[in-house]
Structure 1
């Protein structure tokens, strides 16, 4: 066969491989709220104390016309998140040294996940932009939540929050799924993020079990996972990267190795997913304590 014919065939194969064909698109929406007050009976109200997250996206099946087994699922999403952090001495009106600073951030993330079912791999790439400090509204949000319940008072120390700063972050996450049985899966995870909010790398694993299943869209799922993170920078402890905060930079000394364990579950009801869980976080800074909180979520697919 002439070289020119080889080039034509190669071009056709590449065209077939990357041609999107008739992709199947499915939108989804998810909401999640986390709070240490949910972890009964402790209700610690320290360190990471509250978080709200809304996410909307669209999943597409990208057929591979040459090798159908190599079809991929692409999910593109937007997520908005507000997270709030407070010291253990939450009622203090003075600046408390050696404790977690008052901190909050409000961020908007845009990302894409690519799933290869045959290989069991998921690769997620995500950019995040937002604000750290008082303009994120964390203090106002926490005091509003405290006014809604009868066992908490407004917090006076938010004037000691870390200085306002710009957040720019990038995150890359890789996950490999291993099928131990039709209802038992093992996950291996690698991740890294770089930016003015968090700079770290992590590795972890998780076990997923399906004890009850009626069909592919109606089942109960249980999850147990663990992650070890190597920390380079944490703006909620040290203050912003651009707008230096000498009250905390070098005063709060972050732990370089932080462990995290979580367990939870989800009930899938033909496109409606009710989920929740508990997170146990190791010490994040010298003199700090481990911490726990719970979360609940809703997803419409």
Structure 2
């Protein structure tokens, strides 16, 4: 019944969002008009090689796109707000705990991966210090997303690793489509210490959920609210960021299977609805370059699962 309602909701969401038009607004006047971000995450930091095991994303951002087709998929913005558009390609890979088992592990999560193409709009108000992000994602989940090829390709390059043989039990190929809305606001703002609050939700595949988060930042930070790489000036910034997030997940296709394909070798029927995510990171950069490295810890995602952690590094630079 839930999957039927989700199909109807997806159809209505796409139908209602297509006619939206952007209102006029002033773009950010900055020396940098676009930048590229590369984000890589892996559980090698914790030496686990299970659950979420690898993720790679390439994203291009610009604040110089006007009246483009993709803008019609997002909400409008006012004259005192500034707009940033991005396009990204992302792959995430998931495996059960025992990757050496030859048979299906029915009590564990299935082998899964997805490949998503996303269009995102970020609207920023630098005076009132808030952001509004809307994200449209389309792609595939299952065999065509290339998880098996990427993981075993990495293992073949590492002398201490061997190919994972359980990928014949991965999720069947299915459609991925989702739309998300996220709101962020600076709750406390000073020169060297800040508190941010965020709420948001995603409807679709691979995930349907709602979440809220609080983050704390301390250090030498950019003095203007927004994306540092779009701010004029040449000052360096370096600060530590900690985040606590509560998530209520209604649907997880990487565990429960896709919405349309029923011929999956193995899925789990239920997931843990409430999830807790904690993270810490260090950010260093200036107006034309930024690097962030950190880690995240997640509470169990299904009955019998363990908590899980992974590290990541994100590099972005002006074009």
Report the TM-score when normalising by structure 2. 0.81
In structure 2, the residue matched to 1:54 is: 58
Match of 2:241 among 211, 223, 227: 223
Q: Hey, what's the Cα distance between the residues in 1 that align with 2:81 and 2:234?
A: 18
Q: Hey, what's the Cα distance between the residues in 1 that align with 2:262 and 2:27?
A: 51
Distance change in 2, residues 1:160/1:24 (3 Å): same
Q: Is 2:34 the counterpart of 1:27?
A: yes
In structure 1, the residue matched to 2:92 is: 83
CA-to-partner distance for each residue in 1:202-238, whole Å, 9 max, x for gaps?
Answer: 0111011124789764110210001111010000000
Q: Hey, what's the Cα distance between the residues in 1 that align with 2:163 and 2:26?
A: 56
Pick which of 168-177 and 21-30 moved more.
21-30
Match of 1:149 among 158, 161, 171: 158
Report the TM-score when normalising by structure 1. 0.85
In structure 2, the residue matched to 1:268 is: 285
Alignment RMSD: 2.3
Q: Hey, what's the Cα distance between the residues in 1 that align with 2:96 and 2:180?
A: 27
Q: Is 2:306 the counterpart of 1:283?
A: no
Q: How does 1:194-273 map to 2 (within 5 A)?
A: 194-211=203-220, 217-245=235-263, 247-249=265-267, 251-273=268-290
Please report how far the alpha carbon of residue 269 of structure 1 lies from its aligned counterpart in structure 2 after TM superposition: 3.3
Q: Hey, what's the Cα distance between the residues in 2 that align with 1:223 and 1:145?
A: 30
Q: Secondary structure at the match of 2:63?
A: strand
Higher-Rg member (1/2): 1
In structure 1, the residue matched to 2:131 is: 122
Whether contact under 8 Å (2:36, 2:317) holds in the other structure is yes
In structure 1, the residue matched to 2:310 is: 293
Q: Which runs of 5+ in 2 are unaligned?
A: 1-22, 67-78, 224-232
Distance change in 2, residues 1:268/1:155 (3 Å): same
CA-to-partner distance for each residue in 1:169-209, whole Å, 9 max, x for gaps?
Answer: 11110001133421211110101000021001001110111
Q: Hey, what's the Cα distance between the residues in 1 that align with 2:250 and 2:196?
A: 25
In structure 2, the residue matched to 1:95 is: 104
Please report how far the alpha carbon of residue 73 of structure 1 lies from its aligned counterpart in structure 2 after TM superposition: 2.1
Q: Hey, what's the Cα distance between the residues in 1 that align with 2:27 and 2:119?
A: 24
Q: Which has the higher strand share?
A: 1
